[in-house]
């Protein structure tokens, strides 16, 4: 069976260097909030192009902490997209604010700009666009809306480390960028991790206290979370960050190859873009379940991102507007393997199976 994704294959490629960084941490005697975290924060903010980066435990917490630092909580509304990891909405709910979940745009599958405008109320305080599947959301339009309504913009970059808009990295365009280093992400560690990028010095300082219970000068003045990036994960991320551009370029190369091979098929393909980082390579087909089943029969595992819009989660449904475009996309999407470490060995096999199944 060709797996859909296998992050261990990537870690194994850098095994010696990762083991070395692990030993360094063990021998340093500093296991929590030490040099490795500081060094990674500095390198990652430089990579993204912001003045500050704060390492945290996950993207879910990064969303909660960005909202807390913006003084957004109970009674406030935060607009986000109906097609994303449920974690995006959970991060909002954990802050005390109310998510207002709106439909997507049919081509990019990112949040629909008109739907944002329609959802703005007196209570709206922030917008959280998601750069879904590694494709940047329409940030110029979102920033314009935010400016007109005085809203905070938090970019969910969990699927888009290194993606760009007009040469500017996502995560440096809104007030905050929030990242996940979950193992399968474009930049992943063998555990949990996350980060917040920002140019706001006051928010950055505040988030540094909030991620560590809220402690400042040995006193809790505002209650926070226990949400630290640990030294081991930071050290490993420090080894993998310099490899990220090559990794993304290889994903783009395979995306171009998929597109060239499948162009004549009766399916919807993602666009070829130098701005995207192809966290997923998502095609849309009419008879999705049959296609996935047949591919599986030929030894090829695929994924779906996502099989349901957020409206289908019982605890999230009440926060959702009508989501017809997301709903339709969810019924047609298939994520093909796009991890370079898998395609390096199996691309031809996958293409030949796809061609057989898609004409059938």
Annotated active-site positions, please?
Answer: 185
Locate 73 and state its tokens. 């909580």
Q: CA torsion sign, 182 to 171 to 34 to 243?
A: positive
CB 94 to ligand PLP: min, Å = 11
Task: Rule CB under 6 A: choose which of 60, 108, 164, 197 binds ligand PLP.
Answer: 60
User: Considering the rule CB under 6 A, would residue 87 count as an interface residue with ligand PLP?
Assistant: yes
User: Considering the rule CB under 6 A, would residue 194 count as an interface residue with ligand PLP?
Assistant: yes
User: Considering the rule CB under 6 A, would residue 156 count as an interface residue with ligand PLP?
Assistant: yes
CB 157 to ligand PLP: min, Å = 8
Pairing of strands 124-128, 152-156: parallel
d(CA 155, CA 88): 10
Phi and psi at residue 303, to the nearest 5°? -125, 175
Q: Mask: binding to ligand PLP, 168-187, rule CB under 6 A, as x and -?
A: ------------x-x-----
Which helix (H) or strand (E) is 347 found in, with range?
helix 340-359
CB 194 to ligand PLP: min, Å = 5
Instruction: Identify which of residues 59 and 139 has a Cβ nearer to ligand PLP in the complex.
Output: 59
Residues 6+ apart with CB under 8 A from 336: 258, 281, 282, 283, 302, 350, 354
Q: How many residues bind ligand PLP (CB under 6 A)?
A: 14
Q: Which of residues 114-153 bind ligand PLP (CB under 6 A)?
A: 130
Instruction: Identify which of residues 84 and 108 has a Cβ nearer to ligand PLP in the complex.
Output: 84
Phi and psi at residue 21, to the nearest 5°? -70, -35
Instruction: Identify which of residues 87 and 237 has a Cβ nearer to ligand PLP in the complex.
Output: 87
Alpha-carbon dihedral angle through residues 93, 94, 96, 101, given to the nearest 10 degrees: -20
Q: Which of residues 16-55 bind ligand PLP (CB under 6 A)?
A: none
Instruction: Identify which of residues 156 and 291 has a Cβ nearer to ligand PLP in the complex.
Output: 156
Task: Rule CB under 6 A: choose which of 58, 70, 95, 309 binds ligand PLP.
Answer: 58
Q: Residue 274: exposed, middle, or buried by beta-carbon count in 10 A (0-12, 13-18, 19+)?
A: exposed
CB 61 to ligand PLP: min, Å = 7
Locate 121 and state its tokens. 């109320």
Instruction: Identify which of residues 100 and 358 has a Cβ nearer to ligand PLP in the complex.
Output: 100
d(CA 274, CA 253): 10
Alpha-carbon dihedral angle through residues 13, 17, 21, 23, given to the nearest 10 degrees: 100
Asked if 248 and 186 count as a contact pair (C-beta separation under 8 A), the reply is yes
DSSP calls for 246-258:
HHHHHHHHHHHHH
d(CA 189, CA 186): 10
User: Considering the rule CB under 6 A, would residue 85 count as an interface residue with ligand PLP?
Assistant: yes
CB 286 to ligand PLP: min, Å = 26
Instruction: Identify which of residues 291 and 305 has a Cβ nearer to ligand PLP in the complex.
Output: 305
CB 130 to ligand PLP: min, Å = 5
**Which residues in this chain contact ligand PLP in the complex, by CB under 6 A?**
58-60, 84-85, 87-88, 130, 156, 158-159, 180, 182, 194
């Amino acid at each position: 069976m060709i797996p859909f994704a296998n992050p261990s294959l990537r870690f194994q490629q850098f095994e010696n260097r990762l083991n070395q960084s692990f030993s360094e941490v063990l021998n340093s005697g500093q296991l929590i909030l030490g040099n490795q975290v500081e060094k990674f924060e500095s390198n990652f903010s430089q990579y993204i192009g912001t003045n500050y980066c704060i390492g945290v435990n996950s993207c879910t917490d990064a969303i909660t902490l960005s909202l807390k630092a913006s003084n957004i909580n109970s009674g406030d509304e935060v607009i986000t997209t109906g097609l994303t990891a449920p974690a995006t909405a959970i991060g909002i709910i954990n802050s005390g604010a109310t998510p207002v979940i709106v439909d997507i745009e049919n081509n990019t599958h990112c949040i629909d700009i008109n739907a944002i405008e329609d959802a703005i109320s007196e209570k709206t305080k922030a917008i959280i666009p998601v750069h879904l599947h590694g494709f940047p959301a329409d940030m110029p339009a979102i920033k314009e809306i935010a400016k007109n309504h005085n809203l905070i913009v938090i970019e969910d970059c969990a699927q888009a480390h290194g993606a760009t808009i007009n040469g500017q990295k996502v995560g440096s365009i809104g007030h905050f960028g929030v990242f996940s280093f979950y193992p399968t992400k474009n930049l992943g560690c063998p555990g949990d991790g996350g980060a917040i990028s920002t140019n706001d010095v006051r928010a950055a300082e505040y988030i540094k206290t909030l991620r560590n219970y809220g402690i400042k000068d040995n006193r809790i003045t505002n209650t926070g979370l226990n949400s630290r990036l640990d030294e081991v994960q930071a050290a490993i991320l420090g080894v993998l960050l310099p490899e990220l551009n090559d990794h993304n370029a290889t994903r783009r190369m395979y995306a171009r190859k998929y597109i060239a091979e499948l162009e004549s098929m009766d399916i919807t393909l993602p666009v070829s873009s130098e701005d995207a980082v192809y966290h997923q390579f998502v095609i849309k087909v009419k008879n999705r379940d049959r296609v996935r089943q047949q591919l599986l029969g030929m030894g090829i595992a695929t994924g779906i991102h996502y099989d349901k819009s957020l409206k289908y989660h019982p605890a999230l449904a009440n926060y959702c507007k009508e989501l017809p475009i997301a709903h339709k996309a969810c019924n047609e999407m298939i994520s093909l393997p796009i991890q370079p470490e898998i395609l390096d060995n199996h691309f031809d096999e996958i293409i030949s199976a796809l061609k057989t199944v898609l004409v059938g």
